[in-house]
Amino acid sequence: MSATTTVAPAEQRPQLPDNVAVYRDDGPLAQAIGRALGPNVPVPAMALLVLGAGAILALAALAGSAASLGLTAAGVAVLLLTFGITSVRYPKASFHWAVPSLVRVGEYATLAWLAGTADALPAAFALIAALTFRHYDLVYRLRHRAEVPPRWLNLLAAGWDGRVIIAWLLLALGALPAAMYVWAGLLGAVSVAETVASWRRFERSRATAGEFDELEGEGE
Amino acid sequence: MTDTGTAVGGRAPAAGAPAGDPTATTTAIVVAGAPAAGGGAAALLPWERGTVLERLLGQLDDLGIRTVCVLVRPAHEAAVRAVAGNRVRVSPDTAADLRAIAEAAAAPGGGGIVILPGEIVTHREALAGLLKDPRVVTGTLLGGGWRARQFAFRVRSKRGRVISAASPYHTAHRPTSAFLGVLKVAAADRPALVTSAARLAELTADPSAEWRDELERKTEMWRGALWRAAHRGGEEADEGDGEDEPIDEFADDPEEPETPADPVLSAEDDALLREKLAAAPEDATALALVGLVRSGTHVGVNRLRRLFWARPLSAAAVARAEVDILDYDEDKVLLDSAVKASDGFFTTFFVSTYSRYIARWAARRGFTPNQVTTFSVLIGFLAAAAFATGERWGLVAGAILLQAAFTTDCVDGQLARYTRTFSKLGAWLDSIFDRTKEYACFAGLAIGASRMGDPVWTLACAAITLQTARHFSDFSFGAGQSRMIGDIEQPPLERSLDAAGLAAAERRARAQQEPPAEQPAEPPPRPEPAQPDPLPRRVLRAWHTIDRLPGVRWVKKMAAFPIGERFAAISISAALFDPRVTFVVLLSWGGFAVLYTLSGRVLRSIVR
């Protein structure tokens, strides 16, 4: 065996994806919004992210479960615009660490708020729990195996943008909570199954990709 | 894996070195150039019935390293050959050592290489800790408490990576620990070693004025350190093993006596200094480390913890080491160091105190860390199910089960560190199951509360969102820091100062309104900045300064609401009150932790 075959497939090393981009979990729509509007909106990325997450939290706190379908649609639109634009526009590098958390807060809060208006909070919890598996898996996959999930899985998960739209459609169709439980179950099952399968492949190949980053104290 | 087969002195693979493991270290280069006091090679100093070198070769053999090459000076060839057989290679000087290292690294085939000095005296477990840890691909053995190891070259590490290393001719600005001579180079990093060692061989053959000045500066530094040690009075305190904590060699220490301009040493200290000065330029291992670090290779960190380590250069020092090493209970040190140093308050004082004994028991029963992890998540699910009853007995049972799950969770990591059975799968299982347990308990508590007619789903959704967001902030901040460390531009090997040292020299030169110093002049004892630092920097500095107050470090750790504290908060509030109280506690403490970490990170991001 030659010395170099023991490392990750050569094409993986140089183009390790940017952590923030992976953690954000943008879908195609968010990226399209970013490409279309990103360069034209002269508002700092950080302000947009705080505005988007803040708007959803404020709406959920003030209107709460009494929000009309129209108001929820407006909330979703604000989130898509503000977060979508930042999918191509990042804040200054030293503030990158704040981006993924804000995206998660915006997404999860929207899902909970939408479900709350149909009295389906337990279903929202189930969906968020399934999503946390996906999101932690994005981190651990990159950390331990220097990989990102396969394209089909990302498309199936639909990105945060796709998910808030689907949730709103389910709400508008009156399909909550049943459809959200089914969604959560499917998403969770497929994510877990794919992860287990990819770990089995990884363990079989015994390849040692990337550097193990223990992130002492902060990795948990 | 096909080994180099015809390896000099090749022998059957020892048990414990799985064939085909790409991370395995298969070759050792033992640099035996350091002279001993009174002539001869330091590696040939007598140890029990043999020599220091024989002891080391036995340890390497025991660790499954099949190819060994001992680099020896011509004068000592016969004596070393008597010990190491045909595994000897004659190397007239340090430059030749480095060329030999480059050649060995360039040889086709083979796995990882370990480079270490022949006079090293430590436990087999200290070597195993570095060589058998698959998480450290290329790495070094480091130790804190450099005052006790005053001659060891220093390194600066950050986030488990060496960012600067010292050698006889190089300095490490604001060092964090001492390099203990052992350098492991993964197969993948061999090309970097070939290039850098070859370049270092050229430079070492005829050291530049800058390099010679640096060695002169080190001589004065060691002289001063010896003088201060002699005049400090009392025992030399081992500072323990600080994780990447900076130890500034120019720091104000009120206890420290002022060093005179030309310190006069006792005869004994003077002999010690002369021994070291004779050996220092022969330190090809330290130079090889500098070469790798300066070439941007990711050099990881493995710590000695509280095991014994010495590089004796005289018969008297070996005799001392022979006695001192007996004071170390290897198993106890191993077990103690199986406890993660960076754990929180609750974990450190209420769980790790006894969980390490469970870990040892599990090791003796032959349990694997992954079995323990799986067992832990099963108990976690039981806890969630008990919470879901909503009844008082269920809440109490859930609280107890959750603590049992948390203890087993600590056991798996300690078992892995104790038995050195690390795997990426294990690390992944551990992390993902921690999250699973925590969020399953959130679900259980919320279901239980609904059953009791008190729906808390809004709070449950808020709690899971807050915790996930907190984790993602940690992940991203960590990734950003690691990326920045990787982006540090390393100066060429010709320069004695490292990147930070050069920047500091430039700042000083600017402050003094002088042209930038071309040579690494002796740093002025108290570099006065031209103007006061900006406010955020001063706040940060004050923030780090209060860490020295007793207990402050633990309070800071608790404020960040780590996993031990979270699980304790869940258990106590659920058992004594109800799920609503639990979620309110989680949200308030977690919210406070967000503000706390956020302010720290924003400050750091501004300062940068």
Dihedral of CA atoms B188, B191, B194, B196 in degrees, nearest 10, equals -100
Contact B312, B321 (CB under 8 A): yes
> What pLDDT shows up at residue B533?
66
- Mean pLDDT of chain B, nearest integer: 83
- Closest by alpha carbon to B273, among B177, B169, B150, B172? B150
| Separation between Cα atoms, residue B361 and residue B202, nearest integer Å | 53
Reported confidence tier of residue B511, pLDDT bands at 50, 70, 90? confident
Average pLDDT over residues B298-325: 87
Task: Give the DSSP H/E element, type plus range, for residue B567.
Answer: helix B563-576
Contact B161, B139 (CB under 8 A): no
User: Per-residue pLDDT tens for A54-91?
Assistant: 999 999 999 988 989 999 999 999 999 999 999 888 88
Tell me the C-alpha to C-alpha distance, in Å, between residue B296 and each of A4, A9, A94, B105, B604: 18, 20, 22, 17, 24
* B23 contact residues in A (CB cutoff 8 A): 6, 208
Q: Which of A125, A143, A181 is most worth mutating to test chain B (most B CB atoms within 10 A of its CB)? A: A125
> What pLDDT shows up at residue B532?
59
* B608 contact residues in A (CB cutoff 8 A): 94
Q: Which of A6, A121, A215 sits opposite B457 (nearest CB)?
A: A121
Q: Which of A105, A125, A139 sits opposite B457 (nearest CB)?
A: A125
Alpha-carbon radius of gyration of chain A: 19
User: Per-residue pLDDT tens for B554-593?
Assistant: 888 888 899 999 999 999 999 999 999 999 999 999 999 9
Say whether B2 and A207 touch across the interface (CB within 8 A): no
* B186 contact residues in A (CB cutoff 8 A): 6
User: Per-residue pLDDT tens for B451-507?
Assistant: 999 899 999 999 999 999 999 998 888 888 888 888 888 899 988 888 888 888 888
> What pLDDT shows up at residue A79?
96
| Separation between Cα atoms, residue B383 and residue B380, nearest integer Å | 5
Residue A5 has pLDDT above 50, yes or no: no
* A125 contact residues in B (CB cutoff 8 A): 442-443, 446, 457, 460-461, 464
| Separation between Cα atoms, residue B502 and residue B506, nearest integer Å | 6
**Percent of chain A surpassing pLDDT 70:** 85
- Closest by alpha carbon to B127, among B279, B4, B49, B16? B16
Query: Who contacts B293 (Cβ-Cβ below 8 Å, separation ≥6)?
Result: B155, B162, B163, B164, B165, B299, B490
| Separation between Cα atoms, residue A8 and residue A15, nearest integer Å | 12
- Closest by alpha carbon to B408, among B361, B372, B382? B372
Residue B546 has pLDDT above 80, yes or no: no
Tell me the C-alpha to C-alpha distance, in Å, between residue A177 and each of A171, B261, B464: 9, 80, 19
Average pLDDT over residues B213-239: 75
Residue A27 CB-half CA count within 13 A: 16
> What pLDDT shows up at residue B557?
85
Here the tokens at position B279 are 């050996």
Say whether A144 and B428 touch across the interface (CB within 8 A): yes
Give the DSSP per-residue string, B523-561. PPSS---SSPPPHHHHHHHHHHHGGGSTTHHHHHHHHT-
| Separation between Cα atoms, residue B513 and residue B239, nearest integer Å | 39
Reported confidence tier of residue B365, pLDDT bands at 50, 70, 90? very high
Here the tokens at position B500 are 């930070």
- Closest by alpha carbon to B31, among B60, B86, B73, B83? B73
Q: Which of A140, A199, A214 sits opposite B135 (nearest CB)?
A: A214
* A100 contact residues in B (CB cutoff 8 A): 472-473, 475-476
| Separation between Cα atoms, residue B129 and residue B133, nearest integer Å | 6
**Percent of chain A surpassing pLDDT 90:** 62
Residue in chain B nearest A129 by alpha carbon: B439
**Percent of chain B surpassing pLDDT 90:** 32
Give the SS3 label for residue B365. helix
* Distance from the A161 Cα atom to the nearest Cα atom in chain B, whole angstroms: 17
Residue A145 has pLDDT above 80, yes or no: yes
> What pLDDT shows up at residue B306?
79
Contacts 24+ apart (CB under 8 A), B552-555: B554/B345
User: Per-residue pLDDT tens for B56-89?
Assistant: 999 999 988 888 999 999 988 888 888 888 888 9
> What pLDDT shows up at residue A213?
38
User: Per-residue pLDDT tens for A92-110?
Assistant: 777 888 899 999 999 999 9
Say whether B111 and A6 touch across the interface (CB within 8 A): yes
Say whether A216 and B111 touch across the interface (CB within 8 A): no
Q: How many CB pairs under 8 A join A and B?
A: 185
Residue B284 has pLDDT above 80, yes or no: yes
Q: Which of A23, A202, A208 sits opposite B476 (nearest CB)?
A: A23
Omega within 30 of 0 (cis) for the link into B13: no
User: Per-residue pLDDT tens for B104-154?
Assistant: 999 887 788 999 999 999 988 889 888 887 778 899 988 865 555 777 898
* Distance from the B255 Cα atom to the nearest Cα atom in chain A, whole angstroms: 32
- Mean pLDDT of chain A, nearest integer: 84
pLDDT higher at B31 or A96? B31
> What pLDDT shows up at residue A211?
37
Query: Who contacts B431 (Cβ-Cβ below 8 Å, separation ≥6)?
Result: A136, A140, A219, A220
Residue B543 has pLDDT above 80, yes or no: no
Say whether B461 and A128 touch across the interface (CB within 8 A): yes
Contact A108, B464 (CB under 8 A): yes
Residue in chain B nearest A121 by alpha carbon: B457
Q: Which of A57, A132, A133, A191 is most worth mutating to test chain B (most B CB atoms within 10 A of its CB)? A: A132
Task: Count the neighbouring beta carbons within 10 Å of the beta carbon of residue A1.
Answer: 14
Reported confidence tier of residue B513, pLDDT bands at 50, 70, 90? low
Residue A185 has pLDDT above 90, yes or no: yes
Query: Who contacts B214 (Cβ-Cβ below 8 Å, separation ≥6)?
Result: B168, B169, B170, B171, B496, B520
Task: Give the DSSP H/E element, type plus range, for residue B436.
Answer: helix B424-451
Residue B423 identity? S
> What pLDDT shows up at residue B257?
57
* Distance from the A170 Cα atom to the nearest Cα atom in chain B, whole angstroms: 19
Exposure pattern of B564-603 as b/e (b: 16+ CB <10 Å)? bbbbbbbbebbbeebbbebbebbbebbeebbeebeebbeb
> What pLDDT shows up at residue B256?
53
Please state the ipTM of this predicted complex. 0.88
Here the tokens at position B588 are 């308030």
pLDDT higher at A160 or B337? A160
Residue B158 has pLDDT above 50, yes or no: yes
pLDDT higher at B371 or B508? B371
Here the tokens at position A14 are 């140089």
> What pLDDT shows up at residue B531?
56
Give the SS3 label for residue B25. strand
**Percent of chain B surpassing pLDDT 70:** 87
> What pLDDT shows up at residue B5?
32
| Separation between Cα atoms, residue B255 and residue B244, nearest integer Å | 23
pLDDT higher at B301 or B536? B301
**The residue to which tokens 């002025």 are assigned:** B524
Would you give the distance in Å from CA A190 to the centre of its chain?
16
